Homo-oligomer: A and B are copies of this chain.
Amino acid sequence: MTENWAVGVDLGGTTVKIAFLTINGDIVENWEIPTDNSDEGKNITKDIAKSIEEHLAKWNHAKSDVLGVGMGAPGPFDYETGIIFNTVNLGWPDNFPLKEKLETDLGLPVVIDNDANCAALGEMWKGAGSGCTDLVCVTLGTGVGGGVIVNGQIVQGAKGAAGEIGHLTSVVENGALCNCGKTGCLETIASATGIVRLANEMLVDQNVESELRTVVTNSGMMITAKDVFDSAKNGDIVAEEVVEFVASHLGLVLANIANTLNPQKIVLGGGVSKAGDVLLTPVKEYFNKYCFKSVAESTVIDVATLGNTAGVIGAAWLAKDQKLNESIV
């Protein structure tokens, strides 16, 4: 008998990541295709369907051996209908029936969730959150995203807006303006963009020596978040101050989430999480400071392990989960 697979799709503005997974979550094959957002994004679902069909054929695998397709996409959605309300990067008109289109083009059932939620499910299934049923994942990248899992299921919320961790207000007074329209969101502090902004502001405000100034002067390049962490490791005063500020706000927000949900783990992913102990050590200190005692004793902060395959793995989990009670499994 042919092994049953789940298909995971992680739809981004530049590339679409696709993978075949066994029902145990092992990746059989993963690959990428470019996202063709020309012509109002008309080709996107067709390209995905064609690519999946070609790769199935290569493995002599029939569609009837596929549990279904899970897809992570930039929201917001109507989860029941799979209609995507609006996307900035994909070219589609508002209220695009993504689920229906891909099901028609591919002839397989499709389930959709937002990309941050899929990454969280991936970490739960095969990553740092493996074995956890209650888990919060926070992606610290260009922005800050999140996924909240309770009893092994993603929390969607009343309007699909649960897990907006990047938009918890952390700086209450005189916070920086966020892309969402509010001020003082965690995203303005703990994203790569936020860290660079803080460093540049401190270089202007403080008349002290800093090796971060030479980054700008020597290379003529902008400072990156990695520069800030590297300089902090070297004991640079400005960089250390930025990292301390970021850690205090991230620790506070994570503690308040933990006081609300007491998850088994909070998993940090994304480029900023790669900073390592220079960030994690102070984050954990502030987290413990702001946590209710029994929460501090039981909620663990950890780093994501799957990198950029988390999305396809979590998307495949959705397909597997949705079909669990059906005949094929």
The reply on A299 being an interface residue by CB < 8 A is yes
Q: Do A259 and B168 touch (CB < 8 A)? A: yes
- Give 1 or 0 for each of A282-299: 1 = CB within 8 Å of chain B CB: 000000011011110111
Q: Which residues of B contact A295 (CB under 8 A)?
A: 157, 159, 161, 164
Contact with A260, one of B159, B160, B164, B299 (Cβ below 8 angstroms):
B164
Contact with A158, one of B76, B252, B263 (Cβ below 8 angstroms):
B263
Q: Do B167 and A259 touch (CB < 8 A)? A: yes
Q: Which residues of B contact A180 (CB under 8 A)?
A: 292-293
A259 to B293, CA, bound (A): 24
- Give 1 or 0 for each of A241-271: 1 = CB within 8 Å of chain B CB: 0000000000011011101111110000000
A274 to B224, CA, bound (A): 51
Could you tell me which residues of chain A, from 170 to 184, have a CB within 8 Å of some CB in chain B?
A: 172, 180-182
Could you tell me which residues of chain A, from 270 to 329, have a CB within 8 Å of some CB in chain B?
A: 289-290, 292-295, 297-299
Among residues of B, the one whose C-beta sits closest to the C-beta of A146 is B260
The reply on A162 being an interface residue by CB < 8 A is yes
Among residues of B, the one whose C-beta sits closest to the C-beta of A185 is B292
Given A172-B252, A264-B158, A151:B148 Cβ within 8 A: no
Q: Which residues of B contact A165 (CB under 8 A)?
A: 259-260
Contact with A134, one of B151, B157, B257, B299 (Cβ below 8 angstroms):
B157
Contact with A294, one of B161, B169, B252 (Cβ below 8 angstroms):
B161
What band does the interface of chain A fall in when counting residues whose beta carbon is under 8 Å from B? 35 or more
A151 to B180, CA, bound (A): 28
Among residues of B, the one whose C-beta sits closest to the C-beta of A162 is B262
Among residues of B, the one whose C-beta sits closest to the C-beta of A298 is B159
Contact with A298, one of B150, B161, B259, B293 (Cβ below 8 angstroms):
B161
Q: Which residues of B contact A156 (CB under 8 A)?
A: 262
Q: Do B134 and A259 touch (CB < 8 A)? A: no
A77 smallest CB distance to B (angstroms): 11
Given A76-B294, A292-B180, A260:B162 Cβ within 8 A: yes
- Give 1 or 0 for each of A5-25: 1 = CB within 8 Å of chain B CB: 000000000000000000000
The reply on A129 being an interface residue by CB < 8 A is no
Q: Which residues of B contact A155 (CB under 8 A)?
A: 134, 150-151, 261-262
The reply on A153 being an interface residue by CB < 8 A is yes
Q: Do B261 and A260 touch (CB < 8 A)? A: yes
Kindly list 10 other residue pairs between chains A and B, CB separation below 8 angstroms, not including A156-B262, A181-B293: A150-B150, A151-B155, A157-B299, A158-B262, A158-B299, A163-B260, A164-B292, A167-B292, A168-B259, A260-B261
Interface residues of A (CB under 8 A from B): 76, 134, 146, 148, 150-151, 153, 155-165, 167-169, 172, 180-182, 252-253, 255-257, 259-264, 289-290, 292-295, 297-299
A and B contact pairs by CB, cutoff 8 A, 5 listed: A134-B155, A134-B158, A151-B151, A161-B294, A168-B259
Closest 7 CB pairs of A and B: A157-B262, A159-B298, A162-B262, A167-B292, A158-B298, A161-B262, A161-B294
